[in-house]
């Protein structure tokens, strides 16, 4: 177990309620002798208030274990708005361990994008279907769809699941891949080994690559996105048992 002696607290700046809870969290920790730092470099843990989307936004600069406080529909956060005090008391008294989650790396034309904790989506830039050429392993597929989603086990209960891909256990050595509304159901959703490398190229018009629903990048005809399991894992705080 790791001991908690200092923390950094982040919140969604667009949600007044999250800002208020973050202020409560800071006071709560300081009252128990845990230093609250403004900079992550000096902290043992990051507390993120605002839900899964806020965690996905903060993950780029987070080499710290993250403890998330979100609403009732959160899939990543360890605490809700009504029970975070109890869980932080447990961590303060007993310590915590790290739950490492797989992430995805994506490069477009050889240039790396942000890492994805949930998924990478390649989609049309407008309301027209995009023709995608998808290759992985010994397989090659050419089909029209609204897009394609590749997800980690953590993200497999979100967008890719809605598109028909299987939900995966959080630590499965798998990735999920599904087409978004494919023409004539041309590509069947599936799970593949996490060593799989995906190559995706738009063939009829430019497309957009979206990382965790947060960061968007353009990819033109003749361009290619390469998606694979990232070398770095995402550290979530695991509560003491």
Q: What is the pLDDT of residue 61?
A: 64
Q: Among the options 52, 99, 119, 212, which is catalytic?
A: 52
Residue 209 burial by Cβ neighbours in a 10 Å radius (0-12, 13-18, 19+): buried
Q: Clarify whether 99 is annotated catalytic.
A: no
Q: Which residues contact 25 (CB under 8 A, 6 or more apart)?
A: 9, 47, 49, 69, 84, 88
DSSP 85-131: HHHHHHHHHH-BEEEEE--EEEEETTEE---BSSEEEEEESSSS-EE
Distance CA 115, CA 146 (A): 23
Residue among 96, 102, 86, 23 nearest 65 (CA): 96
CA atoms within 13 A on the CB side of 89: 4
Q: What is the pLDDT of residue 20?
A: 97
Distance CA 193, CA 138 (A): 13
Partners of 158 in the beta sheet? none
- CA dihedral of 87, 237, 73, 83, whole degrees rounded to 10: 10
Distance CA 183, CA 189 (A): 13
Query: 3-state DSSP call for residue 29?
Result: helix
Residue showing tokens 């080499």 = 63
Rg (CA), the chain: 19
Consecutive 10-residue averages of pLDDT for the chain (241 residues): 95 94 98 92 93 88 88 91 96 96 97 97 92 97 98 97 97 98 94 99 96 96 97 94 75
Q: What Å distances lie between residue 117 and 100, 101, 142, 215, 240, CA to CA?
A: 11, 8, 27, 12, 23
Q: What is the pLDDT of residue 62?
A: 66
Q: Cα 151 to chain center, whole Å?
A: 9
In the chain the domains, ranked by start, together with CATH numbers, are 6-95 (3.40.50.10330), 104-231 (2.60.200.30)
Distance CA 175, CA 136 (A): 12
Distance CA 36, CA 113 (A): 31
Distance CA 174, CA 191 (A): 6
């Amino acid at each position: 177990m790791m001991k908690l002696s200092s923390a950094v607290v982040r919140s969604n700046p667009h949600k007044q309620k999250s800002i208020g809870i973050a202020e409560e969290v800071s006071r709560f920790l300081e009252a128990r002798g845990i230093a609250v730092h403004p900079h992550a470099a000096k902290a043992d843990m990051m507390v993120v208030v605002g839900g899964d989307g806020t965690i996905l936004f903060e993950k780029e600069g987070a080499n710290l274990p993250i403890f998330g406080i979100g609403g009732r529909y959160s899939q990543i956060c360890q605490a809700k708005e009504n029970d975070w005090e109890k869980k932080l008391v447990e961590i303060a008294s007993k310590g915590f361990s790290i739950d490492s989650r797989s992430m995805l790396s994506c490069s477009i034309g050889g240039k790396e994008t942000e890492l994805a904790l949930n998924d990478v989506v390649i989609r049309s830039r407008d309301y027209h279907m995009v023709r995608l050429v998808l290759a992985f392993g010994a397989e090659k597929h050419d089909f029209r769809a609204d897009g394609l989603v590749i997800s980690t086990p953590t993200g497999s209960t979100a967008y890719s699941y809605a598109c028909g891909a299987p939900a995966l256990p959080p630590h499965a050595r798998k990735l999920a891949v599904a087409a978004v509304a494919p023409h004539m159901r041309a590509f069947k959703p599936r799970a593949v080994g996490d060593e799989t490398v995906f190559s995706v190229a738009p063939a009829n018009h430019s497309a957009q690559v979206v990382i965790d629903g947060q960061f968007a990048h353009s990819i033109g005809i003749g361009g290619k996105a390469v998606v694979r399991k990232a070398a770095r894992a995402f550290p979530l705080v695991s509560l003491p048992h």
